[in-house]
Amino acid sequence: MSLVEPDDQCLRMKQEFRFFHFLDDKDVEILSPYFECRRLQVGDDLWLEGDDSNFVAFIANGRIETKKQTEFRGKQVVVGVYSRESLIGIVSILSGEPRPITATALEESHLLLLHKEKFDAINQRYPDLGGRLMKGMLFCLSMRLRQSYERLAAIF
């Protein structure tokens, strides 16, 4: 079951999260109220394949495994394992399509969630800050894609 973090733990997670280091202290102060803190226990699902895509998750610590259902009933393939400083779920929040994968905690995990309506509010109220936030999110995705290319190249 997902639990909301105590306020002091949540504030510390927001202050220490490396992803926000490209922003100055004032930017982080403005963004902080838009993020929800969440704790998952081992085996808790963050979301299930087919769920609505209404938030993106920043992993403060812990590990989250993502799995995709195969054509064989009851069989899933692991498509990724993400840990500290990773961002998951951004593509779905941008497209609005249902979640293409299931995300499950492999160990106790602390997350910062940014819901779509909060993301939209940031972009409406603070367009420059929203642009910098999006740039950071896209940078995380591009680094993950680059790592995938490196792994593929190593196979051949």
Per-domain residue ranges of the chain? 7-116
* CATH fold of 7-116: Jelly Rolls (2.60.120)
CA–CA distance, 68 with 60 (Å, rounded to integer): 23
pLDDT digits 0-9 by tens, 9-50: 666 666 666 666 677 778 888 888 999 999 999 999 999 999
pTM recorded for the entire structure: 0.84
Handedness of CA 91, 96, 98, 102 (dihedral sign): positive
The pLDDT of residue 6 is: 57
Cα end-to-end distance, the chain, whole Å? 42
pLDDT digits 0-9 by tens, 92-111: 778 888 999 999 999 999 99
